[in-house]
Amino acid sequence: MRKLHIDNSFTNALPKDPIEENYTRQVEHVAFSKALPLKFAKSSFIHISKLAKELGFTEEDLQSEEFLQLFTGQQPYPNTESYAMAYAGHQFGNWAGQLGDGRAINLFETLQDGNRWAFQLKGAGPTPYSRSGDGLAVLRSSIREHLCSEAMHHLGIPSTRSLSLSLSGEEVLRDVMYDGHPAHEKGAIVCRVAPSFIRFGNFELAAAQGENELLKELADYTIATFFTDIKTSGAEAYLQFFQEVTDRTLEMIMHWQRVGFVHGVMNTDNMSILGLTIDYGPYGWLEPYDHGWTPNTTDRQHKRYRYGAQPEIGLWNLLQLANALFPLIEDAPALQRILDSYKTNYQVQYLDTMMNKIGIYYTHKDDRDLMQALEENLHLHETDMTIFYRELSKIDSKTAVKDAFKVISASFYTNTDVEEKHKNTWLQWLEAYIERLVFDMEQTDDDHSAFAKARIEKMNKTNPKYVLRNYISQLVIDAADQGDYELLGEVYEMLQNPYDEQPEFEKWYALRPEWARSKVGCSMLSCSS
């Protein structure tokens, strides 16, 4: 296998736990602890993503025993030592204290074409931060992380990546619905890749322990390595850092809202400091559009992390980060101004995203009302978010209202009810929408067909045709449980080009089938993974 350019910036810059044994404990003054992957009798790859080639690995590398040993954790890379990061977090709104990488083991960082990549195995065994967990992961949750993190990347959404998915060859005991029915499942390991896996929680841990020196080291390291445009120093630099994290977090969440992604567990330990989507657990994709929906059954009661609340939760999490950074800045009004900027920027970006989704590009004083009415209509009855927006590009300024209704009905789950109860409400909205399209048309000098064509192209770059619908993941998982990985490969291919028509995958551009409505794994997911 080719030689890697190892450059371990995190472990070189930050303090290491002096204890080297692997037992669960509370740590102090440290950013990470040594942690070695378990030795498994027979690890094997299920899937290697195209990221491998992007990272410069050749086909020969991928076939080599060394590559397998390395990315299943069976053999360390020469002169590297694996480790787990220390972090804390707020879980479901409550302070949870020290958490840390309980089942993620970091291998090393590389520099490749000027880009830094940290490699991390998820599910390779316990670490000093495993608390009562076993440090392992099951196949179903590993498939979900592997497929979705790559899908997000190809949707243009900042995310951690996944290099490979492997079986550990051993079994793991899990109680899927936490209802007293534990069962053995196949153990699996995902090799995740990102510039850094630092979370809000890393800063929160140092701050909660009153470790201002460690907090400063962590912030200085993060800025120097990942926020290189910051040229100031002291409090000014930390404020600028907080502003950038705030902006990136908002940008990430706006993307989630755009495509209907619900993270499911937006605890502060699951918030990347780089604004990457991280920790794919009980996430899900909106099928019927619903602000109140969360896939996470563990959050069923309060629905804290429901789709419609994600922007607000992002802000709440940033407030926790602001508190953690406070000792470095000691200027509450300045931090508050940044948090306020999130709110104003959200308003602007929300309108912008929605305009792009419905394909209007000039502003008009009634735009907010049009969006508001659309949001309300989408909640009238079950309407598939992905299909609705994708189909909308088939309507233009010359479409008759009744034809427009036919177009959008393709996204309705409950046709007959709609005909009776809500048709008029929709017709009214469509009339206003088409009028609005006429107004847009009048603003340009382009002829109708050129304008309409450009509009379809733009809309189709905003509204994906193919997303990782919850039931699709479940079908992949069911097949993989039987040792059949063909569907996994097919879905992976489809998700490489989510905005393209891809007629060969048309069957996945369809309403969720009825059987998936209340099936575990399709509409209900727990944190058990």
Which residues contact Mg ion (rule: CB under 5 A)?
270, 279
The contact set with ligand AMP (CB under 6 A) reads 99-103, 129-130, 133-136, 265, 269-270, 279, 281, 527
Annotation says 269 is catalytic: yes
Residue 454 tokens, joined: 């450009």
- Judged by CB, which is closer to Mg ion: 133, or 489? 133
The pair of structure tokens assigned to 45 is: 């790859």
Tell me how far CA of residue 355 lies from CA of 20, 165, 360, 386, 460, in angstroms: 54, 38, 5, 16, 13
In sequence order, which ranges of 367-469 are alpha helices (DSSP H)? 367-378, 385-392, 401-409, 415-421, 423-443, 448-462
CB of 279 to Mg ion, least distance (A): 4
Of the candidates 117, 96, 92, 85, which has an alpha carbon nearest to the alpha carbon of residue 6? 117
Phi-psi region of 169 (alpha: psi -120 to 50; beta: other; left: phi over 0): left
CB of 311 to Mg ion, least distance (A): 20
> Which two three-digit tokens encode residue 219?
């912030």
Closer CB to ligand AMP, 164 or 268, in the complex:
268
The residue among 279 and 382 lying less far from ligand AMP, judged by its C-beta, is: 279
The phi and psi torsions of 479 (rounded to 5 degrees) equal -65, -45
Complete DSSP assignment for 250-312: HHHHHHHHHHTEE-S---GGG-BTT--B---SS-EE-SB--TT--SBGGGTTT-TT-GGGHHH
Calpha distance 58→66 (Å, rounded): 13
Least spacing, CB of residue 241 vs ligand AMP, in Å: 24
The binder of 378, among ligand AMP, Mg ion, none, by C-beta within 5 to 8 A per type, is none
CB closer to Mg ion, 127 vs 270: 270
| Closer by beta carbon to ligand AMP, 101 or else 382 | 101
Pairing of strands 161-174, 88-91: unpaired
Catalytic residue (choose from 17, 134, 220, 269): 269
Cβ closer to ligand AMP: 296 or 462?
A: 296
For residues 378 and 289, the answer to whether their CB atoms sit within 8 Å is yes
